[in-house]
Amino acid sequence: MNFAKRTSTTLFAAALSIGALFSTLAHADATLDRIKGRGSLTVGVILSGAPFGYIDPAGQEQKGYNIDIAKALADKLGVKLETVTVTPPNRVQFLQQGKVDILIANMQYTEERAKILDYVPTPYDRSGGAAVGRKDSGLKDWSDLKGKAVCVSQGSNYTQPLIEQYGAEVKALPSQPESLLALQGGNCVAAVHVGATVGLLLQDRPEEWKDYTILFPTELVPSDSVIWLRKGETDTSNALDKVIRELHANGKLLEYAKANRLLNTSYLEEEHKKLESEGK
């Protein structure tokens, strides 16, 4: 092969590589195109109870703060909303298998989760774990859980700090309701879940939970609640981030939170003040 032919072959191969690269980049995030093409956004949601997600017994309608956010996202994208009920053990699998486009599923940011999934940069809430236990348990501080059985949901981000920082013996149950049943059955001394959910549970069902309380004044690892996506879905992430920032700016997230009785809205109030100018 003479020099001119070798050069031509090399340039052709390089052109093919560059073309393939641009082709890959152009189709790096097909999810947003699919959402708009089929006219629907499929959101994985957890319906384990108020305030984030539950079935209203009156009309069998899905309600909650996370449901309101999902509706707003679909509305802003100009598509209809479809929801798929997920659980802590299967939510990541459902997302990675493409059964849902995104997760709004009480799943706080952690570095470990960010290694396998992408997320919308602007959080829609911030929350930590609260420990529910019997009023006569004698437990006064997270460190009192050392060597004691503590119930959580499978896949909970509270598992690691409970074990590594406080020496608890963690029992992982498939869902929050099963974890709380285990607590009532005496299978653990405390159950640790998102503070807003267990706080509202004790408030709304005082007779059933009259012997129980939130044991400690501080929450475990307060973290950002974010929308999760599959890796590399930059276009979808950017589009959803724009909507979340808009919902902070115009006060809608704060409005949804109050309507769904979130007990602590300080983070949302701070974000509204910070981003309010973007909505003007």
Cβ neighbours for 117, distance < 8 A, ≥ 6 positions apart: 92, 95, 96, 228, 229, 230, 231
Quote the pLDDT of residue 1. 47
- What is the rounded CA–CA span in Å between residue 265 and residue 255? 10
Q: What is the pLDDT of residue 280?
A: 60
Please report, in tens digits, the pLDDT of each residue of the chain (280 residues total).
454 455 454 444 444 444 444 444 444 578 999 999 999 999 999 998 899 999 999 999 999 999 999 999 999 999 999 999 999 999 999 999 999 999 999 899 999 999 999 999 999 999 999 999 999 999 999 999 999 999 999 989 999 999 999 999 999 999 999 999 999 999 999 999 999 999 999 999 999 999 999 999 999 999 999 999 999 999 999 999 999 999 999 999 999 999 999 999 999 999 999 998 876 6
Burial of 165 (0-12, 13-18, 19+ CB in 10 A): middle
Q: pLDDT by residue (tens digit) across 185-229?
A: 999 999 999 999 999 999 999 999 999 999 999 999 999 999 999
Q: What is the pTM of this model?
A: 0.84
> Is beta strand 220-225 parallel, antiparallel or unpaired with respect to 125-134?
antiparallel
- Distance (Å, whole) CA 190 – CA 158: 13
User: What is residue 261's DSSP assignment?
Assistant: T
The length of the chain is 280
- Among 234, 235, 224, 228, which Cα is nearest to 113's? 228
- For tokens 């560059």, what's the residue? 18
Q: Which residues contact 31 (CB under 8 A, 6 or more apart)?
A: 101, 229, 230, 233, 235, 236
